[in-house]
Chains A and B, each alone.
Chain A
Amino acid sequence: MATINKSLVKNEMPVQPADVRNRNFSEVALGYTKDQAIDEARRCLNCKHKPCIEGCPVNVNIPDFIAEVANGNFETAYQIINKTNSLPAICGRVCPQEKQCEAKCVRGIKGEPVGIGRLERFVADWHIANSTTEPEIPKSNGHKVAIVGSGPAGLTCAGDLAKLGYEVTIFEAFHLAGGVLVYGIPEFRLPKHIVQKEIDGLKKLNVKIETNMVIGKILSIDELFDEYEFKAVFIGSGAGLPMFMNIPGENFKGVYSANEFLTRINLMKAYKSDSDTPIHCGAKVAVVGGGNVAMDAARCAKRLGADVTIVYRRSEAELPARLEEIEHAKEEGINFNLLTNPIEIIGTEDGWVKELVCLKMKLSEPDASGRARPVPIEGSEHKLSVDCVIMSIGTTPNPLIKNTTEGLATEKWGGIITDEDGLTSRKGVYAGGDAVTGAATVILAMEAGKKAAKAIDDYIKSK
């Protein structure tokens, strides 16, 4: 075991300079070098009680993989992570580590926690760049399983089942697989070739991916069982329809949902000159909301040349986005109007957005969500002059599958109801990810996919 690195701070992650990156779509964070990774790994105490593992929703064996990094055995480190996490290059980039593994790290009591996420990313990238080992192709066990949706929940469930020998087919509504990883999270945070790499990996395991297939329209869940002889179905159809605030003026030209704005950019590449898909991004943009989605929309708008302001009704402490994204957004010159809530959009004569009318807010006692409730301050009405407004205040589940699947129980708000293992009210039908929980995180969607894969395996074997 190498000596411990006593530094109280993490090795800094090399990044593109803020005033350069806010004008391009290339990746912001550049990743550790070999030396930085080894130096960071040496900060780990290899604690006996391993608190970091409990913080990880898929229980990656963190101290063990870090020990291998410290010794320069990067491929071995990768194999350790990959046992429980099938998408480490993605998780290393987008997991909210500061609320998960790193929140529990002993080194965090005095000083900064070990840069677990950065190490995970380093190891995964190293593997992608250097590994030549081909995955073992599992022998088919003759059972077919269908997966609806190719986001992290569906991809993980598919991978785990394929490794067990199931013949897996993923049905994806879009023309490209990946879910939010390809149409939501921007290139500068999660390069699409990395997502593609993971998907190629699944194809090598003989997972079939059928794009342009909207389940509930072209095929129903019942038909998947009756006509196509799938033994089980996993639904990972994601978070669904964007919500709007229902304030006056929300349908003026120049008002987007974050989903539309981001899809035009990420999936349809509207920022490239050879793309046919247009985007209207004005000179002054307001993004309403404070989650990852809002940060991504704001940073995309910035890169398209706009002056961007985040409008969020609570304070900085309540911002739901990942810490790193908030910091990066600030560095890139995005303004934050906190404790501010829009009440109306005013338009020009020909129907374009002109102003956003807002109220100042103050925080009062916690509401049902446990977070301080924002209440308007009387007489604080003011106007922001903007020509584009991006609404990023959440989503409600897509009703397509619910409406076409008899006996599939859902919550009042539309989420699919499942038990601990992901089983729905229908025999053989499992679900997980945002379709069940509402908008959450990549790693929780993966955890749900994993649990469901295990339950599906037990179910089919017990038949």
Chain B
Amino acid sequence: MYKIIKKEILNPAVTKMVIDAPLIAKKAEPGQFIMLRVDENGERIPLTIADYDREKGNVTIIFQIVGATTEKLNRLNEGDNLHDFVGPLGKKTETEGLKKVAVVGGGVGCAIAFPVAKKLHDEGVEVHSIIGFRNKDLIFLEKEFAEISDKIFVMTDDGSNGSKGLVTDALKELLDSGEKYDEVITIGPLVMMKFVSLLTKKYNVKTVVSMNPVMVDGTGMCGGCRVKVGNETKFACVDGPDFDGHQVDFDEAIARTQMYQQFERKAHEDTCNLYKMEVK
């Protein structure tokens, strides 16, 4: 059993949990993920390791409530147990040899980008962070990012806080002003990563994206997590989740994540209705 040690609501749609998992904490590296099941009949879902404490033996996850499983997960509280928690899976994000990096996070992707930015900072890399949210109520991890970044830009779609605009606007400005990065690391919705990659291609800056396809096992058995990179089929759970953003076929990836949309919308409504009934 995997106990929830701490639960924190970061914004109405995003929750942070600290899970007791000493063996995973011992091995975890930024960029890697876990897979969990909330209960016996639950779905296996992947979530990035947002932080880990090797001494205390715990692992932090930050998740956005989007469907049935994340909804169920969010209903658990400190002291409750997760049914399954397996990891660390995937390859770690490569940081070797980097001197100056722009980290671009979007929405819940900021949670995934944070441990990478922190590691870069700890290794003495100059970090410029650009984090974007739809509006000011959704902003989280701003303080944490500020502490480890040499420069930080908080963008909101509606300008309700920080600067109005998209993360790509901020990145373009930096690149135009002559900033030279060894690499751009971007994590967020597929559409965002696509446009960041299109932008950096023009400036010829190497760009790493973190892909989040549908996964079943996370160990390289099912083939469900395949992503077309260059002209090759790669498996995100064992070959990734990080890939060269200039090589990824984003349009195909975007289409593939919609495979279960209809099913999920219904499952989501069903779970919500169930909970509403319970509450009454």
Contacts and interface: CB of A to CB of B under 8 A. Distances in A.
Nearest to A259: B222
A193 B37 CA distance: 22
B267 interface: yes
A347 B267 CA distance: 27
Contacts of A218: 23-24, 27, 86-88
Interface stretch (B95-103, B117-125, B185-193, B250-258): B250-258
Contacts, number: 111
Contacts of B41: 269, 272, 274-276
Contacts of B170: none
Given A218-B88, A278-B264, A251 B256 contact: yes
B143 to A, nearest CB: 32
A244 interface: yes
Contact of B23 (A219, A250, A260): A219
A263 B220 CA distance: 13
Given A280-B259, A400-B238, A260 B216 contact: yes
Given A242-B222, A350-B255, A175 B233 contact: no
Contact of A263 (B216, B226, B238): B216
A259 B226 CA distance: 13
How many of chain A's residues touch chain B, expressed as a range? Answer: 35 or more
Contacts of B24: 218
A391 B222 CA distance: 11
B219 to A, nearest CB: 5
Contacts of A351: 252, 255-256, 258
Contacts of B88: 217-218
Chain A binding site: helix, strand, loop or mixed by DSSP? loop
Given A212-B84, A212-B85, A399-B220, A251 B69 contact: no
B267 A276 contact: yes
B228 interface: yes
Interface string B202-226: 0000000000000011011111101
Chain B CB count within 10 A is highest, among A214, A217, A242, A251, for A217
B150 interface: no
Contact of B223 (A242, A253, A400): A242
B104 interface: no
B89 interface: yes
Interface of B: 23-24, 27, 37, 41-44, 68-69, 83-89, 216-217, 219-224, 226, 228, 233, 235, 238, 249, 252, 255-256, 258-260, 263-264, 267
Given A251-B233, A257-B222, 19 more contacts: A173-B217, A175-B83, A175-B84, A213-B86, A217-B88, A238-B221, A240-B220, A244-B223, A251-B249, A251-B252, A253-B258, A256-B223, A257-B223, A259-B223, A260-B222, A268-B44, A276-B68, A276-B69, A278-B260
